Chains A and B, each alone.
Chain A
């Protein structure tokens, strides 16, 4: 079964997003920051979709994306940013790094569930 990786330094957000996805039958793994997310990407090849925050300690979300695409040479995993950031410059950087989509917090699961299913399949 394909897996979704949720990366956020806030346990409130991790629990909310991961809990919602699990409740809807999806297989979810979590990471506490970009560094942890990168490590999980290395150790879990079944991950098809990453939902990540941008502003995190140790390694921010966009740097993690750049490393997933660059260092891990993983060009197939779908990556969605779930963040408070909405500046066009930040989104442009995400797009250039290989981000598939952008969600401005707060998280509204019902609005994105079906798209997540497709991206994770």
Chain B
């Protein structure tokens, strides 16, 4: 069932939020989507929601259960970022999105698995073990929001929050056959999201269909004084006329090297839309991955500096003095990929290299953004694949970091440009889902959502 259907059932008294919450909590997690289930607090929240409904209050998310990626803070609830470094960390505050969803009456079922500190594309680097893809349990669910995507896809929750820095909502959504929305940079507050790359991170939603994604997005966007990068944004519903849409297909996104079957499915899906399609060029696409990994690693190396194991987190008491504490607490707490990115970022920001790497990457980023702005002068939306490959087998790519990075090729450009994008299933091959990406102009989520709802009916 979808959020809309559950909400109707709750309003009509067909079932209670307590019924729903018990149902989801008791469902067996055979894909290891969750790091922790929040049984006690979820039941309390459900009872509260039922009281509110009984008193006549109505709301699209009132009494609706949701899962939350374990890098988003809920006050008093362990938030690990899937790392040994934060294995027992209990945040003293709610993320702004959590505060908003609590006000709306959402019930939080649990914290879902992710790649450690959201660094990865397969959820294989989690300290707590790998999450399985519900479509094929020998394969990865994608990452870094693999737990959230797997939870929605296997019916452990109706919707989940995720975070996306280079594709971490859109790619796992594609791999698991569900919908993922990464909103415009600045549209959703990052306060309470464990920062990875602050100029790229955004919280977004993973859901079963486009309408549900819209419902959740409408509850979480907005200016927040605690996040100076959040924008004064008001969402206006629009009804897009499919026959008036002009869709841009960037030729740089349909390259050799991507899975041939995937390419054909996407091309067919676009044909089936029966819309006005035009080929566009985003010429600086070939620099995107390099710019992305330089910027991300640089910002990561800075953001990860806060983890010293003193005020909270993993600490090694065998340290001899304060400096030794830093070395041992950080060296002991962080996993391989995290260390890799911190070291890389330390290099790209260091004296003598900063101009060649970080500064250059920022300039290229601007060119990539400009490519999109130029394209949007003549098209309404841009459609691309989400991933160059189908969900791969567990263990297949984890030993080669560069090969793993290349998987992000179609998603990182969007974060670099700060644009909104939605990933949704458009077909299947041998039971593996094919995800397609709908990209819009800054703050035009309404246009993407309206068009996607219509596309959804065609691709069903």
Chain B binds chain A: no
Residues of B that sit less than 8 Å from A by CB: none
Residues of A that sit less than 8 Å from B by CB: none
